[in-house]
């Protein structure tokens, strides 16, 4: 006989959200939201929404047509959805990328970006001793770096030293942010000598590139000159302990891994769609880690 308690509690009124991407099979978000829906006893569903790139516009209209509460947006659509939706929040406009869609009762779709607050919440949670009054060093100048820079400058750091292999991209990012914050972004080439000469006083060092991810080369930088009380953060979470974090730990530096950013960025979307601001707990982390096979 079936144990009825094991059947997911979906009714005809379930609030529905999901994650749009191509592919989405690798995403941990369905499991993460399922955990919270179950934990809070909410009548809702969060499902994978694989969208072929040439069907993105249809998919956005599908959210409206099916009465979705909203969706997360992942690679390769974070920028492509912008012209297809009705409104952007200021943070999404600043970062130029959307990872969360909110659909209202009339079908109006607002796009926001929760990567930025997710990064900051994870940093504060993982390293409460982090001093926002000290400069920050950020590696990379892509979309993830824009979210991280917005978070750090918003938190009040006096300067972001932005290192990128392609220097022009760091310069462009710095110029784009200039009108929005009183503290500057200083663009720098990703070269050992420049790196070593630019670490004085930094309170946090963040990798936003794919370096160190499974199948990618590690970051080839010496961590010896990072101040002993600085925090080192990697937004890569596959593997959880990247070579960059392992080297930082070996030096005795405090570290914060990338899984927390995934968990914290999901909170705001869940609250919009399902009406409860969920907590990031050790139990949730253990559940997602187990699902990742880590």
Task: By CB under 6 A, name the binding residues for ligand ATR.
Answer: 140-145, 164-166, 169, 190, 208-211
For residue 216, the minimal CB distance to ligand ATR (Å) is 7
Helix residue ranges, H only, 127-258: 143-154, 167-177, 192-196, 243-250
Closest to ligand ATR by CB, 194 vs 277, is 194
Based on CB atoms, which residue is closest to ligand ATR, 35 or 72?
Answer: 72
Q: Distance between alpha carbon 222 and the CA centroid of its chain, in Å? A: 26
- Pick 37 or 136: Cβ nearer ligand ATR: 136
Q: How far is the CB of 275 from ligand ATR (least distance, A)?
A: 30
Is 46 within 8 Å of 28 (Cβ atoms)?
A: no
Min dist CB 251 to ligand ATR, Å, is: 21
Burial label for 69, CB within 10 Å (0-12, 13-18, 19+), is buried
| Comparison of 169 and 241: residue with beta carbon closer to ligand ATR | 169
Residue nearest to ligand ATR (CB): 142
Q: Classify residue 186 as exposed, middle or buried by CB count within 10 Å of its CB (0-12, 13-18, 19+).
A: middle
Please state the closest distance from residue 139 (CB atom) to ligand ATR, in A. 8
Rounded to whole angstroms, the Cα distance separating 49 from 69 reads 14
Kindly name the residue from 78, 108, 169, 182 that is annotated as catalytic: 78
Backbone angles phi, psi at 203, to 5 degrees: -100, -20
Q: Is 193 considered catalytic here?
A: no
Gyration radius of the chain's alpha carbons: 20
Shortest Cβ 76–ligand ATR spacing (Å)? 10
Mapped onto helix, strand or coil, the DSSP state of residue 282 is helix
Q: How far apart (Å, rounded) are the C-alpha atoms in residues 62 and 81?
A: 13
Q: Which tokens sit at 159? A: 């300067």
Rounded Cα–Cα distance for residues 234 and 215 (Å) = 16
Using the minimum distance from each CB to ligand ATR, give the nearer residue, 101 or 235. Answer: 235
> What's the CA dihedral at 262, 268, 269, 271 to 10 degrees?
130
Which residues are tagged catalytic?
Answer: 78
């Amino acid at each position: 006989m079936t144990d009825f308690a094991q059947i997911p509690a979906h009714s005809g009124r379930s609030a529905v959200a999901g994650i749009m991407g191509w592919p989405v099979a690798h995403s941990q978000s369905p499991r993460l939201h399922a955990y919270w829906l179950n934990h809070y006893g909410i009548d809702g569903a969060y499902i994978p929404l694989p969208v072929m790139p040439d069907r993105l516009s249809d998919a956005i209209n599908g959210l409206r047509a099916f009465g979705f509460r909203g969706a997360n947006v992942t690679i390769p659509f974070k920028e492509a959805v912008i012209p297809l939706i009705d409104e952007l929040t200021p943070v999404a406009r600043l970062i130029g990328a959307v990872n969360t869609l909110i659909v209202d009762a009339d079908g109006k779709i607002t796009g926001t970006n929760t990567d930025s607050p997710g990064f900051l919440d994870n940093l504060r949670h993982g390293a409460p001793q982090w001093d926002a009054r000290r400069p920050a060093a950020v590696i990379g100048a892509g979309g993830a770096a824009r979210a991280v820079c917005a978070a750090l400058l918003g938190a009040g750091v006096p300067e972001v030293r932005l290192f990128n292999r392609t220097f022009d991209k760091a310069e462009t990012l710095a110029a784009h942010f200039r009108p929005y914050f009183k503290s500057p972004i200083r663009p720098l080439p990703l070269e050992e000598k420049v790196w070593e000469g630019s670490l004085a006083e930094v309170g946090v060092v963040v990798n936003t590139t794919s370096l160190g991810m499974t199948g990618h080369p590690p970051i080839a930088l010496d961590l010896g000159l990072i101040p002993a009380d600085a925090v080192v953060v990697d937004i890569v979470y596959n593997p959880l302990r990247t070579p960059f974090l392992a080297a930082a730990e070996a030096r005795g530096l405090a570290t914060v891994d990338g899984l927390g950013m995934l968990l914290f960025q999901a909170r705001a979307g869940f609250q919009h769609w399902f009406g409860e601001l969920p907590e990031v707990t050790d139990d949730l982390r253990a559940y997602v880690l187990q699902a990742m096979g880590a």
